[in-house]
Structure 1
């Protein structure tokens, strides 16, 4: 039995690099799907660089399709959207580096504040009134002010507003169980949000925008919609509830950079974990786990080449994957589709998530910086 390892070197030459294409038309279609489910204002959440699709690209497509707000992780991300010409209201609410009050005021960015300490620091630093959404914990226990401190948070916000350091314009929460697509699972969070609204209204803050639902709640439970819904994953074709078919908004392609004939019994890749069971042809794509291809995938994983789905064989390497093309020797330079929105032979991000035992969010947000970006 021939057990000579297959060489995986690239041949010399120039190839079109691995490319992630973003499809704004799909974002437009997804906003239309969301609009059909709710009459309320849509906030397009473009954190994590627009779920890996380009924050500015996704934001512009979503706003053009009718989204009235944008959502980001930080004031810096929001400021970049302002610099790109986006004028709609923007909310930043996670603040991994703290809240830059001066930058928020300068860029007209709202900030959500979810703890007494965070609000106290903001009041101390703000030189002019920053627009604030009070972030209440409605059951996630991951962020937001705990119920036992709501009164303290609201009292501090009152003093900050009287001192003209802030202006309370919103109240928000989060749904911990919306992916179940069961309104009964959301009932406690909805009740908590209504209680938070009453507390803020009683404190004299007047009319404020309330928002609780993300993509799953928006698609499955009108009771969670309040005045505004926050849609992020749904913009790029992901419905965590699995109830609505959305449009995939990206396509990852890569060229074949090496091809070889392999007899039966040929081990492939590190440790020879896959061995050919027949004479076949093997092709190499220049993408690996450093580019976002999950290292642990099932034997069902494949890519599309020439209208056929062909299996990934052997271990995923840092920079490469190997494809078994069977009796056909596919020419170097031929484009393979790793994932796309087309269906049929073309894998989707949901296929890759299933093969990797993860969620589609990790597939699109994990595509590395070596992969070229384009807009189609």
Structure 2
């Protein structure tokens, strides 16, 4: 039998090398806070990439319990897994937006998944699946309003809308959504923001004048949900913010938006030893001890998702003190200089958490690695077990 030991804001199950604790009560509270903030539009809980590393099915259930009526996935396999996990269309609509030729169109139709279409090739493949299954599709037409990624360019928009409306008239689909995605909503004042707002308004007006009667128009991602109320339309797509991390750290941290981080990552010291001054540490000796000191071995590495770019920079908390990665992060482990302290082997190491008791956060790691908090939580690998606390949804 294993038990969970509590230190600060994290817990670590006895006998476990490392563990990501997922606070589902915090996730539900974040969804409620976001719903209150937007005051009207529906909420899509974005659970792509295994819910940003938090566990898609568990997080989807809790988000729906907290009032999200839509779920968002990138890959069709992610959407199908949610339906297979018991989330039916009566509980939440699921939108899938990243399709490739030969994708599982028929399976998505059978599972009642909403499908995003950005070009004629995709519409043609979808209609083949409709003919094969006899099941009409629910389609969201995506406009490229300036991100330059997925989405239909303005010069092709009228043709795509017309083709979709012809298929709708034939009873093969319903255009239920019109949408796009921001390029720089996390950079207040960026000139692309207003340009995309204007472009999306024009795309919507064009489609509606052609006869589209969409259920939802949606443009806002997490930063736009927090900062751009004019972008909310009928539905907002909340990703990082739902997991309690700020998508706009230069504007405010999670608490400034009424959010609380959902994931904490904890491990334990595997070795503590005294070394002399001038001792090289880890590959390449990019850190050398300045004098006699103690080193602690932390048994997680880049195979677990700890970014190698945080070598000599990533922070952890051990026995209430911040320590910094000493030398390179290796595949399975890294070292910290304990400065002469001698905590016991097995002492918990809080890699990141909520920050409420002074521990590092995912944002601290993002800054140390020169990346964004999205990547820090999403990259925590499958060999780190997830432990869920505070759940209510079945």
* TM-score using structure 1 length: 0.92
**Equivalent residue in structure 2 for 1:179, among 166, 186, 204:** 186
1:71–1:230 CA contact under 8 A, matched in 2: yes
Please provide the CA RMSD for this pair. Answer: 1.8
What are the within-5 Å matches in structure 2 for residues 140-179 of structure 1? 140-179=147-186
For 1:177 and 1:183, the matched residues in 2 are separated by 7
Number of the residue aligned with 2:3? none
1:124, distance to aligned residue in structure 2 (A)? 2.4
Residue aligning to 1:134: 141
- Matched residue, 1:125: 129
The equivalent residue for 1:76 is 77
Which digits, 9 at most, give the CA deviation of each residue in 1:193-229, with x for residues without a partner?
A: 2222222222223243100010011100111011101
C-alpha distance in 2, partners of 1:27/1:221? 22
Aligned to 2:7: none
Match of 1:34 in 2: 34
2:108 equivalent in structure 1 = 104
Shift in CA distance, 66/98, structure 1 to aligned 2, threshold 3 Å: farther
Write the distance in 2 (CA, Å) between the matches of 1:219 and 1:357: 23
Kept after mapping to 2: 8 A contact 1:102/1:126: yes
CA distance in 1, matches of 2:199, 2:103: 26
2:294 aligned counterpart, secondary structure: strand
Gap regions ≥5 residues in structure 1: 1-13
Q: Deviations over 1:9-38 (max 9, x none)?
A: xxxxx9422111111122122213312321
CA distance in 2, matches of 1:375, 1:143: 34
What is residue 277 of structure 2 aligned with on the other side? 264
Please report how far the alpha carbon of residue 99 of structure 1 lies from its aligned counterpart in structure 2 after TM superposition.
4.1
Q: Does 1:329 align with 2:330?
A: no
Matched, 1:314 2:321: no
Shift of 1:187: 1.9
Shift of 1:148: 0.4
Q: Would the alpha carbon gap of residues 152 and 90 (structure 1) be closer, same or farther in structure 2, given more than 3 Å must change?
A: same
Deviations 1:276-331 (A, max 9, x none): 11221111111111111111226442211111112211111111111222222222
Distance 2:243 2:338 in 1: 31
Counterparts of 1:276 and 1:97, CA distance in 2: 54
The structural deviation recorded for 1:97 is: 6.2
Q: Greater CA deviation, 112-121 or 30-39?
A: 30-39
Quick one: distance in 2 between partners of 1:366 and 1:195? Answer: 37
- Measure, in 2, the Cα distance between the counterparts of 1:183 and 1:261: 51
1:9 aligned residue: none
Paired residue for 1:213?
A: 220
Change in CA separation of 1:96 and 1:247 when aligned onto 2, cut-off 3 Å: farther
Q: Which residue of structure 1 aligns with residue 262 of structure 2?
A: 249
Would you say the 8 A contact 1:182–1:221 is kept in 2?
no
Q: Is the 8 A contact 1:129 1:167 kept in 2?
A: yes
1:89 to 75, 81, 93: 93
Any idea what the Cα deviations from partners look like across 1:127-163, whole Å, max 9, x if unmatched?
3211000111111111101000111101111222223
Equivalent residue, structure 2, for 1:288: 301
- For the residue of structure 1 that corresponds to 2:308, the secondary structure is coil
Structure 2 contact 116–142 (Cα < 8 Å) conserved: yes
Sort the Cα spacing of 1:357 and 1:197 in 2 relative to 1 into closer, same or farther, 3 A.
same
Which residue of 2 is the match for residue 25 of structure 1? Answer: 25
| Greater Cα shift, 339-348 or 138-147 | 339-348
Of 104, 116, 119, 1:115 maps to: 119
1:183 deviates by: 8.2
Corresponding pairs, count = 363
Stretches of structure 2 lacking an aligned partner (at least 5 in a row): 1-13, 390-394
What does residue 9 of structure 2 align with? none
